[in-house]
């Protein structure tokens, strides 16, 4: 009997997202007793913003109330901070939810979505889940989005383009001028694609020629800039991020979005965290110092390190990344293998505090001896 498959091909072919190994899981699996260090998910080594946490505690007493469906207070605050209109903002259950919302709102089965090779695994997953065909454009050295090649590869079938800047898992970035040229080229098309510019790591980027894409909204109305509270504000577990775009695009996204997509605790925490200038400054400063120090220390040992503008390093050791990952697990350190990205020789390591990074360096010396 001919039967209809349970799921369509585009679902069956999704490569599942591989999250960083949870601390609890490693403890169970290997019977480790010492302190486990997670350097796998680019979380904030300083913890959560203290002001954000305080606000989250206060908001818990109102857990019986539905959250504000429009996240009014938070939206007003972000709009004022970024000098955009509240109508340009959509808040999401992490930026991952916003990516899903983007593909379901602006894509349809059979359309194409474009990504760079070695870009964030959520992009192809979200595209494929909505039935879009994923077109992957090779990088230029060193593992950097080739925006010129991506611009040249856009066709009328391309409805969405994802650009991570800085990108995960590579830590690389594209200068503001390149981004402007890329969007300028797309503007000349009769029907330009929606460009989702993922700035999850923008707080950490300090290259002189790095620039946020926000000012480009004026010249490219189909631009969507994504930001998150998961990294620099340390609120990963509360699940909250936002996007900035043209009001027309935002109005469509609001129609598709779940009414109460962002919980009250997260809204309160994010609002307060935006005022935590001290925490943000300490986060960025720690990362700036440690990123340079650990990069230098690894290179001094002869290891290749891709120059990073984010809060993690992509490194290449004399042994395959997964082997080094596995050996580090025995020493209670969780890093992130990137073979699922086709980067078998590499390992992604989230930066920690100075003592944590010292522990990592010593463990690497032991493992690679």
Ligand X SMILES: *Cc1c(COP(=O)(O)O)cnc(C)c1O
120 makes contact with ligand X (CB under 6 A): yes
Tokens of 79: 């709009």
203 makes contact with ligand X (CB under 6 A): no
Q: x/- contact string, 38-77, with ligand X (CB under 6 A)?
A: ----x-----------------------------------
Report the residue number whose CB is nearest to ligand X.
94
Provide the minimum distance between the beta carbon of 227 and ligand X in the complex, in angstroms, as a whole number. Answer: 8
Beta strand pairing call for 241-244 and 194-198: unpaired
Determine which residue in the list 45, 52, 67, 94 makes contact with ligand X, applying CB under 6 A.
Answer: 94
Q: In which element (H, E) is residue 128 found?
A: helix 122-129
| Binding footprint of ligand X, residue count (CB under 6 A) | 14
Determine which residue in the list 236, 331, 361, 368 makes contact with ligand X, applying CB under 6 A.
Answer: 236
Nearest residue (CB) to ligand X, 233 versus 317: 233
The DSSP code sequence of 286-324 is HHHHHHHHHHHHHHHTT-EE---SSSEEEEE-SS-HHHH
Provide the minimum distance between the beta carbon of 352 and ligand X in the complex, in angstroms, as a whole number. Answer: 16
Which range in 1-9, 48-56, 92-100, 186-194 contacts ligand X by CB under 6 A?
Answer: 92-100
Could you tell me if 52 and 276 are in contact, meaning their C-beta atoms sit under 8 angstroms apart?
yes
357 makes contact with ligand X (CB under 6 A): no
Helix axes 23-30, 321-330, angle to 10 degrees: 70
Q: How many residues does the chain have?
A: 369
Determine which residue in the list 111, 198, 203, 290 makes contact with ligand X, applying CB under 6 A.
Answer: 198
Residues in CB range of 150: below 8 A, 6 or more apart: 114, 116, 137, 161, 163, 182
Determine which residue in the list 144, 168, 245, 308 makes contact with ligand X, applying CB under 6 A.
Answer: 168
Q: What does the alpha-carbon distance between residue 312 and residue 314 come to, in Å, rounded to a whole number?
A: 7
Determine which residue in the list 165, 228, 295, 311 makes contact with ligand X, applying CB under 6 A.
Answer: 228
241 makes contact with ligand X (CB under 6 A): yes
Angle at 21 between CA 20 and CA 27, to 5 degrees: 155
Provide the minimum distance between the beta carbon of 329 and ligand X in the complex, in angstroms, as a whole number. Answer: 22
Tokens 């904030």, residue located: 44
- List residues binding ligand X (CB under 6 A): 42, 94-96, 120, 164, 168, 198, 200, 228, 230-231, 236, 241
């Amino acid at each position: 009997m001919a039967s209809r498959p349970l799921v369509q091909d585009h679902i069956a072919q999704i490569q599942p997202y591989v999250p960083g190994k949870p601390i609890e899981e490693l403890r169970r699996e290997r019977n480790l007793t010492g302190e486990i260090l997670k350097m796998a998910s680019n979380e904030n080594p300083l913890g959560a913003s203290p002001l954000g946490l305080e606000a989250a505690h206060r908001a818990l007493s109102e857990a019986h109330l539905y959250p504000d469906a429009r996240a009014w207070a938070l939206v007003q605050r972000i709009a004022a901070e970024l000098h955009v209109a509240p109508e340009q903002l959509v808040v999401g259950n992490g930026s991952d939810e916003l990516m899903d919302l983007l593909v379901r709102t602006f894509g349809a089965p059979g359309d194409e979505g474009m990504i760079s090779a070695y870009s964030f695994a959520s992009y192809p997953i979200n595209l494929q889940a909505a039935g879009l065909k994923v077109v992957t454009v090779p990088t230029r050295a060193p593992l950097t989005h080739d925006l010129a090649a991506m611009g040249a590869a856009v066709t009328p079938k391309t409805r969405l383009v994802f650009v991570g800047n800085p990108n995960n898992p590579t830590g690389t970035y594209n200068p503001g001028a390149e981004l402007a040229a890329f969007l300028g080229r797309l503007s000349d098309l009769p029907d330009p694609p929606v460009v989702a510019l993922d700035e999850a790591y923008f707080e950490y980027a300090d290259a002189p020629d790095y620039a946020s894409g926000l000012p480009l909204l004026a010249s490219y109305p189909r631009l969507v800039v994504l930001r998150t509270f998961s990294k620099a504000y340390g609120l990963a577990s509360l699940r909250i991020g936002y996007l900035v775009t043209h009001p027309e695009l935002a109005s469509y996204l609001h129609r598709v979005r779940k009414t109460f997509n962002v919980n009250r605790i997260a809204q309160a925490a994010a609002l307060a965290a935006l005022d935590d200038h001290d925490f943000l400054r300490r986060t960025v400063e720690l990362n700036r110092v440690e990123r340079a120090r650990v990069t230098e220390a690894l290179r001094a040992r002869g290891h290749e390190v891709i120059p990073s503008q984010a809060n993690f390093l992509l490194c290449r050791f004399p042994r395959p990344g997964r082997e080094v990952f596995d050996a580090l697990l025995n020493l209670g350190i969780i890093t992130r293998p990137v073979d699922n990205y086709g980067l078998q020789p590499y390992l992604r390591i989230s930066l920690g505090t100075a003592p944590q990074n010292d522990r990592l360096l010593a463990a690497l010396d032991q493992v690679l001896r």
